Amino acid sequence: MADAAYGLWPLVILNTLLFVVFAASFFHPKSKRDWRAMGAYGAFLVALFTEMYGTPLTICLLGSWLGSQFPLLKDTHAGGHLWNDLTGWSGDPHLSPFHLASYVAIGTGFWLIAAAWKRLHEAAQHDELATTGPYAWVRHPQYDGFLLIMIGFLLQWPTIPTLFMFPVLVYVYVRLARNEEREVAGEFGEQWDAYAARTPAFFPRHRPLRNTTPPPGPHAASGQERQPSHMAGSSQSHTGRMP
């Protein structure tokens, strides 16, 4: 292998654990559904960091096929920034437009997860539906956060496994989100219907519509504080409740 930056398996483990633990610190997964979504995110990271620091399978495969057309496509750590290689970027790969865009996407994703968790915690304290903050823009901001993180990594270091895994993960998250919505709709009824009618699921409108949610029912009157587990894809992502 041409580059000593590969074969660093302790870095594969360390980086995977770092990003999983960091996400879980905002996520607090508790239900089986939460852990399934968290596991899918973890599998994506394992595939990513295995090729980033372990074995560059994608670069080896593409290099043997496209090496004569793309001379930058080599099994070096710099060559692992695939979009740079294919577009001819010869400067510092960490300063390329793709890499800088990845920082924005990853940072925004973690911010979105954290901001949504804060609102969920407040909603759980009053046993109410979360409809403000990031939830005023989309119904599943935490899913959006995780997808933004993965998009950021795909911009920074795309691999054949992660490119194939990403649409599968999108499907899994959408399916989990739909299951969640059915559960929350059964609990909050008209309040949920009004919220869902004005708020898109994943892609925000130019500006959120004015809040027309009916006054909260008996859920808000209890005042009981609940400990939320809040990963998008469970009924907790709007109410702080266990499914």
154 is written with which tokens? 């795909």
| Phi/psi of residue 232, nearest 5 degrees | -60, 140
Residue whose tokens read 């920074």:
156
Q: What is the pTM of this model?
A: 0.74
**Rounded Cα gap, residues 76 and 89, in angstroms:** 15
pLDDT in tens, 185-231: 988 889 999 999 999 999 998 765 555 444 444 444 333 333 333 33
pLDDT at residue number 4 = 55
Contact 233, 177 (CB under 8 A): yes
At 21, which amino acid appears?
V
Give me the helix-helix angle, 190-198 and 160-188, nearest 10°. 140
pLDDT in tens, the chain (243 residues): 455 577 889 999 999 999 999 888 877 777 787 788 888 889 999 999 998 888 877 777 775 555 445 444 566 666 667 787 777 777 787 888 998 999 999 999 999 988 998 888 788 788 888 999 999 999 999 899 999 999 999 998 888 889 999 999 999 889 889 988 998 898 888 999 999 999 999 999 876 555 544 444 444 433 333 333 333 334 445 544 433
Contact 28, 97 (CB under 8 A): no
Cα 230 to the center of its chain, rounded Å = 13
